[in-house]
Chains A and B, each alone.
Chain A
């Protein structure tokens, strides 16, 4: 205990260490504030859109007397609400859609649409807590620890300190532990301060803190390893920054390139184009060319396939579905490929502790690829429910009624 107090006093008098710790605290605070602001903005957008979505449908429901028109003109907002911990790791919410307006038309042309506010930001990523803790914090720890012993050797104090210490190695462990602990506190403090009032669960915050601590402990062990060689401070710093560059930048980039090469994905544009072509071509094909593949999927409407007019809504929606069916193999391959890539990246991330910690935080924040795919799955399920709602009304030619409209599926959000 007295050793800890001694080292706390010593640390309090070390201006360079205080500077790095101050920067860590500042970086953590800024990242948490920016994350909270971003999530608040996303929630505000969703609240507005949900309100508009209901209001718009109420108006539209009074305008049309034909189920084809109703299905064509009525949009349904779908959304993926951010978790209460999403502020800490925005993850896939930067690049993948978290809100869609869906109609009962072909889905594949709608589901990959996204409206990133600023593609440049999407490219470089956000300054969130995960970035601060996983990419910047190791650098700050390196600055705090790289010269613990080497600076003492240079100053001629190393032997004096070692010989004076009552137990071997005690000043070094205490100093390193204190600096590492202080850095972890500078990071975790703002995380809790921002997370608890924001509704993040204590268990999530504990797990996130554990991720931060384990990650920092890893970098501490790297510093200890480099320190064993007895190099000078500049050499230590160069070696450690080199290790950081390799583990935080080069290895993740190499993982990305290798995984993309190992698990090829169909081009998203190809899915969209194929589906659009299938839908557009249907206008010029005999009606039977559309209805036959449709009935294969929906035999329950086999008795309603006669299309007597040049245009009938049931035929229109049938070829929308057939357009989706045409790209099903591509879409499935795209879906499977994304899962495959994510799994492979997850395995290879063990080669890069910063990448591993980032993935762990995104998993806690529900902003990882799995969460994105889960949202996509909910959109698909909702779209399927819409079709199942409209098809009987379209094929049987039922009249539009308020009672029937009230049975229309409503998208259920994922708010907790």
Chain B
């Protein structure tokens, strides 16, 4: 079976510094895969490499079995991307932002579908026509998540998706992510939130200074990965 996302011996340089070193992993359809690590671990770099914004110094990244290098358009069409602290246009409303970005993606989406997605991220209906510059950080993040859902792509790359969300919203996001995965969508999320990653992910790769230092799978029949074990590993490598 072809992996939806795969990194093979991936090394990436940024500004003369090696930020990823020989990283390999693969993600199958319907999986939620979390890259966990501290600041500067190389998590966002991994996402940007899948999107073609950064070129591998060595190794390769594949989207739906195709090397991103040489198939960039196809790779991007298959991916919905949620950047860290996504800032949509402040002078536009949530509806207008969604309409704009979906149109940019070539997706024709009606108001009903927009409302459905905004309902799923629990954005208050009365806020949807307001300019987003009046939104809180969490409300902006909800709209960005709604955008990722509405893209209707087989793969979602989410960079710190719960950043700025309150605990209730984080819980709602986790359930939403699981529903999307059950519907067949593949999710690669990067986070430094150990608790959140353990609750939502099928697999966690621990990334430290650009190197994969550990991997944790959700045991069969369990609803989450062992938080304690991940915490210990995270603390151990962070202090290393």
Would A155 and B87 count as touching, CB distance under 8 A? yes
| Any A CB within 8 A of the CB of B85 | yes
Contact A163 B103 (CB under 8 A): no
Tell whether A3 is near chain B: CB-to-CB under 8 Å: yes
The reply to whether the CB of A45 lies closer than 8 angstroms to some CB of chain B is: no
Least Cβ distance of A131 to chain B in Å?
33
- Which B residues are CB-close (under 8 A) to A165? 76, 104-105
Q: Is the CB of B91 within 8 A of A159?
A: no
Q: What residues on A are CB-neighbors of B233 within 8 Å?
A: none
CB distance A164 to B104 under 8 Å? yes
CB contact between B91 and one of A6, A13, A163, A167 (< 8 Å): that residue? A13
Q: Does any Cβ of A come within 8 Å of B62's Cβ?
A: no
Query: Is the C-beta of A2 less than 8 angstroms from some C-beta in chain B?
Result: yes
Number of residue pairs spanning A and B whose beta carbons lie under 8 angstroms apart: 65
Cα separation A159 to B48 with both chains bound (whole Å) = 8
Instruction: Report the count of interface residues on B (CB-CB < 8 A).
Output: 28
Question: In the bound complex, what is the Cα–Cα distance between A157 and B83 (angstroms)?
Answer: 8
Determine if B195 is an interface residue (Cβ-Cβ < 8 Å).
no
In the assembled complex, how far is the CB of residue A282 from the closest CB belonging to chain B, in whole angstroms? 80
Binary contact readout B76-100 vs A (1 if CB under 8 angstroms, 0 otherwise): 1101111111111101100010001
* In the complex, residue of chain A having the shortest beta-carbon distance to the beta carbon of B77: A166
> In the complex, how many angstroms separate the beta carbon of A143 from the nearest chain B beta carbon?
17
Is A297 at the interface (CB under 8 A from chain B)?
no
Asked if B16 is an interface residue, CB under 8 A from chain A, the answer is no
Bound-state CA distance A160–B87 (Å) is 9
Q: How far is the CA of A306 from the CA of B51 in the complex (A)?
A: 101
Contact A157 B87 (CB under 8 A): yes
Q: For the complex, is A171 an interface residue (Cβ under 8 Å from B)?
A: yes
Q: 0/1 per residue, A208-219, Cβ < 8 Å to B?
A: 000000000000
Contacts of B87 in A (CB 8 A): 155-157
Q: A3-B104, A155-B87 are in contact. List 18 more A-B contacts (CB 8 A).
A: A3-B103, A6-B100, A6-B104, A13-B89, A14-B91, A15-B91, A156-B83, A156-B85, A160-B82, A160-B83, A160-B86, A161-B101, A163-B51, A164-B104, A164-B151, A168-B76, A170-B104, A171-B104
Residues of A within 8 A of B (CB): 2-3, 6, 9-10, 13-15, 155-157, 159-168, 170-171
